[in-house]
Amino acid sequence: MPGSRAPRSPLDALRPAAFGADPSGERMARIRRSPHFAGGVFVNPAGPERAPSRSMLAFLPTYFRKEERVRRAPAHAVPVHPTTVADLAAAPASGLRITWMGHSSVLAEIDGHRVLFDPVWSERCSPSAFAGPRRLHPVPVPLAETGHVDAVVISHDHYDHLDMPTVRALARTGTAFVVPLGVGAHLEHWGIPAGRITELDWHESTLLGDLTLTATPARHFCGRALRNTQHTLWASWVVAGPRHRVFHSGDTGYFPGFAGIGERYGPFDATLMQVGAYSEFWPDIHMEPEEGLRAHLDLQGSAPGDRGILLPIHWGTFNLAPHPWDEPAERTVTAASRAGVRYAVPRPGQPFEPADGLAPDAWWQTVAVDGKQRRATGAPAPAVRLGLAADR
């Protein structure tokens, strides 16, 4: 759906391109008709108990404290899987293959189609190429070597999920973009033709060949600019093919609605669950690992025959919270093992087929912060330039 743009003011020239654009015109009219838009803002299925902005202000002193920075960084280089073009070119034998690229970026090859969730290939998740959270590991596969992507699916417009340079690079491939309501304003601002953008409200679907992509509820918030209007929606996603179903959580706090999503769209062969960047400062908008496991079970991720597998995402790539960088993986494995739930914690870039599972490999333990590193400066290992920063 094309969205008409508001007239530009002289101040627009001073607005960084990475901030994107606010919805307006026909797009804003559709937003106002959404049953999830009330009082001038999008609202959560279960409202947060505290405002994220106030929580962030309370967190900032902790974020910049030297001793806290140390434990949030690995002591050694994160092992990136040496995935090749050929690895991703061969069709998955089972019809479903998942490749975690780091953080929430996941390539899902499902029933003959390729869907890329929340691609962030830049060195920093920030409006600036020179400041903001920097990668703890390089992207394991160059964007140009991921192969043809049928659709890019975005969960919400935060910088660690919607990356302008990556979007612009993917735009040149002709791929389609499927996003929550309002997010299309950013994409059009960055030059994506309106005809290649599909915007969905919760429980709305679109078809992509044999796949059905459905936006489902999440408990989070939005915003990229200094003034957050809460006019873009956040979502989790269901991608269902003739034989396989995948769930991507986006960012979300735990809420009872996962059970309803499971009843309506599940069970799932794989759930890609946010388990990192949690904190007592914002308990309502990000899940802790044990909550991610609970959501996986609510979603019927453990499908009949115990084929459903849990993949922890949103950890290990950017320092966004006060917990140790490897803690989400450790806690997920512990909780899933106790519950008898199948899980996979691949190295960044390591493709695997959920039907086959993945052999246990506690690779994060080999690069975790050690005593010597705790006494050091805490600076992360140098990140590899990804060739996207210049696009900002």
- For residue 206, the cross-strand partners are 213
Residues composing the chain: 392
**Which is it for strands 96-102 and 351-352: parallel, antiparallel or unpaired?**
antiparallel
pLDDT for res 73: 81
pTM: 0.88
CA angle, 335 as apex, 286 and 275 as ends, to 5°?
A: 20
Q: Say if residue 329 is exposed, middle or buried (CB neighbours under 10 Å; 0-12, 13-18, 19+).
A: buried
- For residue 99, the cross-strand partners are 107, 351
pLDDT for res 381: 36
**Which is it for strands 176-180 and 197-200: parallel, antiparallel or unpaired?**
parallel
pLDDT in tens, the chain (392 residues): 445 444 455 555 567 899 999 999 999 999 999 999 999 999 999 765 555 555 555 555 555 555 555 567 888 899 999 999 999 999 999 999 999 999 999 999 999 999 999 999 999 999 988 988 999 999 999 999 999 999 999 999 999 999 999 999 999 999 999 999 999 999 999 999 999 999 999 999 999 999 999 999 999 999 997 767 789 999 999 999 999 999 999 999 999 999 999 999 999 999 999 999 999 888 899 999 999 999 999 998 655 555 699 999 999 999 999 899 999 999 999 999 999 999 999 999 999 999 999 999 999 998 875 544 433 333 333 333 333 433 44
